[in-house]
Amino acid sequence: MAPGEKIKAKIKKNLPVRGPQAPTIKDLMHWYCMNTNTHGCRRIVVSRGRLRRLLWILFTLTAVALILWQCALLVFSFYTVSVSIKVHFQKLDFPAVTICNINPYKYSVVHDLLADLEGETEAAMKALYGFEEGKHRKRREAGTWSSAWEGGPVKFLNRIPLLIFNKNEKDKARDFVTGRKRMINGNVIHKASNVIHVHESEKLVGFQLCSNDTFDCATYTFSSGINAIQEWYKLHYMNIMAQVPLEKKINMSYSAEELLVTCFFDGMSCDGRNFTLFHHPMYGNCYTFNNRENGTILSTSMGGSEHGLQVILYINEEEYNPYLVSSTGAKVLIHRQNEYPFIEDVGTEIETAMSTSIGMHLTESFKLSEPYSQCTEDGSDIPVNNIYKAAYSLQICLYSCFQTKMVKKCGCAQYSQPLPPGANYCNYQQHPNWMYCYYKLYQAFVREELGCQSVCRETCSFKEWTLTTSLAQWPSEVSEKWLLPVLTWDQGQQINKKLNKTDLAKLLIFYKDLNQRSIMESPANSIEMLLSNFGGQLGLWMSCSVVCVIEIIEVFFIDFFSIIARRQWQKAKEWWAQKRAPSGLEAPASQQGQDNPALEIDNDLPTFTSAMRLPPALDAQVPGTPPPTYNTLHLQRAFSHQLSDTELPSES
């Protein structure tokens, strides 16, 4: 071997092992610490003394932990939003206004349908409280109020019996009809009263709903008889009205000319033709102003009560159902033109003999959708069928989900909500078990067991009108002397009575100012900002860059696992060699890494001493000593031609 090549081989042997060529993980880590650009790792290797090396290990690990912590915070805070509020002063579109009388149907028209129900209600109140109405109004016929179950069949109380519960007697209640005590099976659900009692009563009033087998029952108790009787009456009322055709119910309710006495908008006169009929199951005929029926939306360019909507409503308290509603007045709801008016949930009540002024402030909100929030743009990604003919909202989704579950579970739809396709409203004749099914299903809905709350999501953009309500007595004692006669004369074609102040209510709806507030969400971070923050953390704690991160990935993921894979492959080869070796012979243990002399680079020719240290080959035959060839013992001349002076004398 040439001297230069031999020196080169010796230098190559003493150089540190690099990257994937490292035979062990320890050598790989040593190589990384000596060649990386991160200062802390190199100081671990080159520092002298255990204490100093230990301190550098602690500092480096602390820096790595801080980097991971700060980067995790940056990732978690990436999907956050910043909220900006903008205020605009501009001409505003006037919202849609839906107005309903609290009493859904005129009592004089619907009385024949409810005569039996009200007779049993009156009898139940007499049996419970000794209540007996003294003088009935002219619109009620004396014959319709029978005494308690005198000679007539009891229909409603037999189907859903009213019960009296004594707190001292558990699992027992007294029946209104028979007066006998009965055992109470199933769950007892107590509902708080809306009426405040100074002295707590020892008796509770309620009713029991049972399934067809009469063993699975649910009992509902109320601390006030008022709530118990109204809830019991409402159940039967919905059952009766569910069987009445829609056209007939519209005729039994109030017309626009009857409800609206006068109307002004932005200083211009309006009438019932500017309102759109909307029939609500629980509130009868409602009327919506500015509903974009003809394709145009009214707007206002000025704030104040003179530039809004002003109406006078005819309430007609004499036509009120005494057991269905216990207050007089109207309900009003301000909403978008394409939004369904949930008048029963968020409506504002208007009091009679009062002037109600409602000032508005418009707020428009825009939220970011996924992944920033769980809102939906238009509800198309919600797996709930919208049974309302209106734009998607959270309330529409919840009620649609419950109504769909109601039809699937009970076989019919609940009366106060729209009908799904192919379904019918519940009634006794077709669905005798619907009340029990409805109450059980509604309890599950309130406890969020139906999954509707987890499926339905709020919309990403919506408009909200902040309302400020003020009241004033109307008309005043001075003005009513001329105002009421004039209004009576104006309504002479619709009503045949003299109006009084308790039959009327005045409503004013207007923008307090034209400042529109917009609340908008925007991403608080971007990809560029996130990468910049990552680079700042790496430079601050470890003095490295993205190239260092790539280097770490190469060493700790590629080289690290390649060493492990190489070791496993070597073990597999040894196992396979041992398996194929003849029995009784053990394969010599192979040496790995730098301990393997076969990996040593030495191109020198073997000497006699080194050759003697070599192990003999397995199953090698040692040859015997061959006999000498005597012909080779003769002396031969080294040259072909011998010089004369060097030639030897011949032997004679």
317-333 pLDDT, tens digit per residue, is: 899 998 898 889 999 99
- Residue 471's pLDDT is 94
Rounded to the nearest angstrom, the gap between the alpha carbon of residue 310 and the centroid of all alpha carbons in its chain is: 40
* Confidence tier at 528 by pLDDT (50, 70, 90): confident
pLDDT at 237 over 70: yes
Mean pLDDT of 77-86: 84
Mean pLDDT of 182-189: 58
* Confidence tier at 473 by pLDDT (50, 70, 90): very high
Rounded to the nearest angstrom, the gap between the alpha carbon of residue 229 and the centroid of all alpha carbons in its chain is: 37
CB 149 within 8 A of CB 179: no
Closest CA to 301 of 266, 273, 332: 266
> Which DSSP helix (H) or strand (E) runs through 46?
helix 39-46
* Confidence tier at 594 by pLDDT (50, 70, 90): very low
pLDDT at 139 over 50: no
Does this model's pTM top 0.85? My answer is: no
Beta strands 354-366 and 172-175 are unpaired
pLDDT in tens, 367-407: 988 888 889 988 889 999 999 989 999 999 999 999 999 99
pLDDT in tens, 475-518: 998 888 888 888 888 776 666 778 888 889 999 999 999 889 99
DSSP 8-state secondary structure symbol assigned to residue 472: E
Q: Which residue has the tokens 């860059």?
A: 545
Q: What are phi and psi of 88, to 5 degrees?
A: -115, 145
Q: Lowest-confidence range among 271-280, 497-506, 530-539, 580-589?
A: 580-589
- Residue 141's pLDDT is 43
Q: Give Cα separations from 585 to 233, 289, 590, 614, 621 (angstroms).
A: 100, 103, 15, 20, 19
Query: Buried (b) or exposed (e) across 614-650, using 16+ Cβ within 10 A?
Result: eeeeeeeeeeeeeeeeeeeeeeeeeeeeeeeeeeeee
Rounded to 10°, the helix 527-541/546-553 angle is 80
Mean pLDDT of 187-216: 59
- Residue 196's pLDDT is 37
pLDDT at 310 over 80: yes
Mean pLDDT of 38-58: 83
* Ranges 91-105, 160-174, 546-560, 582-596, most confident: 91-105
Q: Which residue has the tokens 């150089």?
A: 15
- HEC string of 290-322 equals CCCCCCCCCEECCCCHHHCEEEEEECCHHHCCC
* Ranges 139-143, 194-198, 633-637, most confident: 633-637
Other beta carbons within 10 Å of 651: 4
List helix spans (H) across 105-148. 107-129
> Which DSSP helix (H) or strand (E) runs through 489?
helix 480-490
pLDDT at 129 over 80: no
- Residue 177's pLDDT is 67
Residue of higher predicted confidence among 38 and 506:
506
* Confidence tier at 22 by pLDDT (50, 70, 90): low
Q: Give Cα separations from 44 to 80, 279, 403, 503 (angstroms).
A: 39, 82, 70, 92
Q: What angle do CA 295, 298, 299 make, to 5 degrees?
A: 135
pLDDT in tens, 427-457: 888 888 888 888 889 989 999 999 999 999 9
pLDDT at 9 over 80: no
- Residue 96's pLDDT is 95
- Residue 578's pLDDT is 85
Cα gap 234→207, rounded to integer Å: 13
pLDDT in tens, 294-307: 678 999 988 898 99
Mean pLDDT of 59-79: 87
* Confidence tier at 616 by pLDDT (50, 70, 90): low
Mean pLDDT of 229-237: 88
For the record, the structure tokens of 152 come out as 């007539």
